[in-house]
Chains A and B, each alone.
Chain A
Amino acid sequence: MAYDLIMIAVIDYGMGNLGSITKALDHVGADMCLTSDPATLAEAERIVLPGVGAFADGMRNLKQTGLADALQEEVLRKGKPFWGICLGMQFIAQRSVEFGEHAGFGWIDAEVVRFQFPDDSALKVPHVGWNNLHFLRDHPMLTRIRDAADFYFVHSYHLVTADESLVLGTCEYGYAFPACIAKGNLFATQFHPEKSQRDGLTMLKNFLTWQP
């Protein structure tokens, strides 16, 4: 296969379901390593930033370990293909309002807010379970994935952006929110591909060959 030389770095900053994401990448044939070493990021060809947890703690860990600076260099300056998953998607926004206001990487013109529903709404937060996407345009990462495919979500906060060109797919929960964004070498999803059975694995496979 063509993926022989591809090395994906999955960033370990002490948070999230790291076992799940590494096993899913392994399953689709990725040459992958879980790392918290900024030097390894420099050697990687592609980078996945997973994450479940609190925004402020995660950002602090990324900064203290030097991973935030390394990501800036490898992803923003060198343009390596990048996938932020869940909290990893939220980090690339400008700011989050989760438990106070916290700065993100600011790679995209977006911010992170909590789901807000009217008081009489029966909708639960967190948004947990399978929900379908609505794709707004085509993208190589969506190869062999049909519109309205269901993916697994588990989150209380989501992205908002005034830049509609960022949004590749939306999801409806009370209202439509950006569930999948793409800009150049940046790709990010609020849902968990590693937990989304066949369609999730297909998307992970697409990442191995994606040439932004």
Chain B
Amino acid sequence: MLKNRIIPSLLLKNGRMVKSVRFERYRDVGHPITAAKIYDAQRADELIILDITASQEKRDILFEIVREISAECFMPLGVGGGIRSVADIRMLLRCGADKAVINTAAVEVPGLIGEAAAAFGSSTIVVSIDARKHGSGTYEVFTHAATKATGKDPVAWATEVVARGAGEIFLTAVDRDGTMEGLDLALIRSVADAVSVPVIASGGVGTLEDFKRGIVDGHASAVSAASIFHFTDQSPIKTRKYLVDQGLHVRP
């Protein structure tokens, strides 16, 4: 039986690991390679590495980090940040990434998802969607590390990128990021129920129960988290143990 996945995410800035709150107030939380090795030892199901380094010149730092992590961690690595072309994806795959995570360029570069899916297969292409909730209760997709509004509705946008060839959706509730106040289950469920591909839920996990709710109530295939692993004594091992006890299907 297919298992639900627990996916730690690592946010990088200029080669350091950082953690934000609602995509602001970035705080240094250590060295990414050390963290990746610990997650591998704890048998995390997968790792997602997102680079928010602004300058193009410093992009090589990401390639080097991916090379180092993939030389020691034999689990799937999804890598994103600054991907603009098929050539960028090919470079990341050569460095040891297994999946490319595309966010801003999915909106700005028409045809990229289709081209990338044709070149590497849909299952290599993860589209990351950052959604903010408005006071009216509606949601809107943002790009550029959640600083730029797109006017797009997350469900419609997710449906569109899947039609273009995305093989997975990495969905983040911007308002929950780093708050540890729980996932936005309504947002997650609306997208997960609308698309035929797996949805990875992100933003707000603060307790082990949040992982369960993301899967059971949010209908997500996987739940991603960062703060709970950085700032509490919870680990992928304890998470799996809890989920097994709760009757969910995760790796033993």
Contacts and interface: CB of A to CB of B under 8 A. Distances in A.
A195 B93 contact: no
A125 B168 CA distance: 9
Interface string B1-41: 11111000000000000000000000000000000000010
B180 to A, nearest CB: 25
Of A15, A20, A132, A156, most buried by chain B (CB within 10 Å of CB) is A20
A73 B160 CA distance: 45
A194 B164 CA distance: 28
Place the interface of chain B in its size category: 35 or more
A23 B69 CA distance: 10
B71 A129 contact: no
B138 interface: no
A27 B2 contact: no
A124 B74 contact: no
Given A128-B198, A150-B251, 17 more contacts: A17-B124, A19-B66, A20-B74, A20-B77, A52-B121, A52-B124, A124-B198, A125-B197, A131-B1, A131-B2, A132-B1, A156-B123, A194-B74, A197-B40, A197-B75, A200-B74, A201-B74
18 contacts: A17-B97, A19-B66, A19-B67, A19-B94, A23-B96, A53-B124, A54-B121, A122-B219, A125-B196, A128-B123, A129-B3, A129-B45, A129-B198, A130-B5, A130-B251, A154-B76, A197-B40, A197-B75
Interface of B: 1-5, 40, 43, 45-46, 66-67, 70-72, 74-77, 93-99, 118-124, 167-168, 196-198, 219, 221-222, 251-252
